[in-house]
Amino acid sequence: MTKQKITHVTKKLIALPMVLFTVGIYAQNQTKTLDSLFTTLHNQKKFNGNVLVADKGQPIFEKSYGLADEKTGRKLDVKSTFELASVSKQFTAAGIVLLQKAGKLNYDDKISKYIPELSFYDKITVRNLLNHTSGLPDYMELLEKNWDKTQFATNDDIIREFAKYKPTLEFEPNQQFEYSNTGYALLASIIERVSKKNFGEFLSQNIFKPLGMDHTLIYRSRYQPMTIANYALGYEADQSGDKFLPDSKGKEYYSYYLDGIVGDGMVNSTLEDLLKWDRALYTDKLVNENDKKLIFNGITTANGKETNYGFGWLIKDKTPYGKIVNHSGGWAGYSTFIERHIDNDKTFIILQNNMTPFTKIPIESVRKILYNEKLATENLKTVQLTADQLQKYAGTYSSIDFPMKLKIFVKEGALYGQALAEGQNAFPMVAYENHVFIFDNADIRMAFDPNKHTMDFKQGGASNYLFSKEE
């Protein structure tokens, strides 16, 4: 866009302060509304964590809510360190990109070149691991069945277990998209074997230190304990809301014996470090524009569907807010989220050290506040349905955009939902008009279309995900 010549200097002098004043009012309103939103959620026991919202790299809101340690009463502050869970995947992907740029590997190399133990998976490439099109089954399910849970599992153990049991692929590589923690654990192993450095050391030397992310590291609290100042302990909760540390469940609890595994998780960081990461992605300091075309764009698989997943980021191209890239994470007491509005340079980062049936990440509400939109409300009437009427909604549902399948079933005269993944409990839902079912404790909303055999899923203000019932 070219600049028009300003012929009336007096208009320029008058207009500028008015624009600045208006921007200031908007920023004040946004800050108040954001604080009101998160304060309300915290008071409802739906939010415990840190929030940072930035516009063009400048924080317009940054605040902590709740405790870092329930036992001692130590409070969170904006510099507290959190486990990022699957938000870690963008750093694993970036590590692979850096190795490709250095000529140490190619995206279309077969993984057997670096992991010969898995040579029987002769069609899987590094690129398949990056964009979740490998077809590899879930390592957590394999270890749940076969692993000695008195021992820590590591990435090398995943490779050994896959080499031993040779589990069948879910589908041929590049045929479709299915979110895979296995793929990102193997990417971490490739990084280690190619770089001859451990995963944490490589990321630190090549990403964290160059960007001044001084409080970001790979941290496995059970496998390699260390003291980290101002650390946010992660809490889960039962259905009654009583919080507990996952380690209280013993060594056979998933978060304990899987603590040696990196790549799909285990990056720990702070709000301010993640904002540094966000800012670097607008520059060529680590990756250039050609790299970003791969990182921030999905692909079309052989089944003709768009994946909406790049290298470690979910992609939303056509939104009212322009292009959005984001990623969520959930693991052993942590619920995390980062979102970047690339076209408008807006960012928000949400780090929680509670992952309970009540935890909420108000993604859609934050978006609306950022763009000075009114927050929407919904008023629906409850309905009473018989078990036979509920049965038409039952089945297994999947979405190309969502990492887990959902099982919907009828139990004791109510409709229940359950994510088909390790550690996910079933939850009862209240029936509303228009085929809507809600589990209010976790802010889950499902709107079914029985004729099309689909279901629109939404949780915690996040974007809607369209699920289809499997045959």
460 pLDDT tier (thresholds 50, 70, 90): low
- Rounded to the nearest integer, the mean pLDDT of the chain is 90
Query: Is pLDDT of 400 > 60?
Result: yes
Residue 77, exposed/middle/buried by CB under 10 A (0-12, 13-18, 19+)?
middle
7 pLDDT tier (thresholds 50, 70, 90): very low
Task: Give the tens place of pLDDT for each residue, 69-93.
Answer: 999 999 999 999 999 999 999 999 9
Residue 241: predicted pLDDT? 77
Residue 4, exposed/middle/buried by CB under 10 A (0-12, 13-18, 19+)?
exposed
Alpha carbon of 361 to those of 31, 138, 322, 330, 356: distances in Å? 17, 26, 21, 11, 12
Give the pairing type, strands 444-449 and 235-237: unpaired
Tell which residue, 239, 232, 123, 139, has the closest CA to residue 184. Answer: 139
Query: Is pLDDT of 356 > 60?
Result: yes
Q: What is the mean predicted confidence (pLDDT) over 60-71?
A: 98
Residue 16: predicted pLDDT? 33
325 pLDDT tier (thresholds 50, 70, 90): very high
pTM to 2 decimals?
Answer: 0.81
Query: Is pLDDT of 139 > 90?
Result: yes
Residue 137: predicted pLDDT? 96
Q: What is the mean predicted confidence (pLDDT) over 164-177?
A: 97
461 pLDDT tier (thresholds 50, 70, 90): low
How many angstroms separate the CA atoms of 341 and 425, rounded?
A: 33
Q: Which of 36, 64, 80, 86 is catalytic?
A: 86
How many angstroms separate the CA atoms of 281 and 271, rounded?
A: 16
Of residues 152 and 379, more confidence is placed in 152
Q: What is the DSSP letter of 237?
A: E
> Looking at the domain that runs over 83-370, which CATH code has it been given?
3.40.710.10
Q: What residues pair up with 330 in beta bridges, in sequence order?
A: 335
Q: What is the mean predicted confidence (pLDDT) over 259-264?
A: 97
Alpha carbon of 350 to those of 38, 60, 120, 221: distances in Å? 11, 14, 41, 21
Query: Is pLDDT of 117 > 50?
Result: yes
How many angstroms separate the CA atoms of 294 and 288, rounded?
A: 10
Q: What is the mean predicted confidence (pLDDT) over 260-282?
A: 98
Residue 27: predicted pLDDT? 57
Are both 83-370 and 387-469 of the same fold? no
> Looking at the domain that runs over 387-469, which CATH code has it been given?
2.40.128.50
Residue 238: predicted pLDDT? 81
Q: What is the mean predicted confidence (pLDDT) over 259-274?
A: 98
Domain ranges of the chain: 83-370, 387-469
429 pLDDT tier (thresholds 50, 70, 90): very high
Cβ proximity of 262 and 199 under 8 Å: yes
Task: Give the tens place of pLDDT for each residue, 296-312.
Answer: 999 999 999 999 999 99
Residue 463: predicted pLDDT? 62
CB crowding 403-429: b at 16 or more within 10 Å, else e: bbbbbbbbeeeebbbebebebeeebeb
Query: Is pLDDT of 65 > 80?
Result: yes
Q: Which two three-digit tokens encode residue 354?
A: 């509670």
Residue 198: predicted pLDDT? 97
Is 86 catalytic? The answer is yes
Cβ atoms within 10 Å, residue 296: 20
Residue 443: predicted pLDDT? 73
Cβ atoms within 10 Å, residue 131: 24
469 pLDDT tier (thresholds 50, 70, 90): very high
Q: What is the DSSP letter of 300?
A: B
Of residues 122 and 403, more confidence is placed in 122
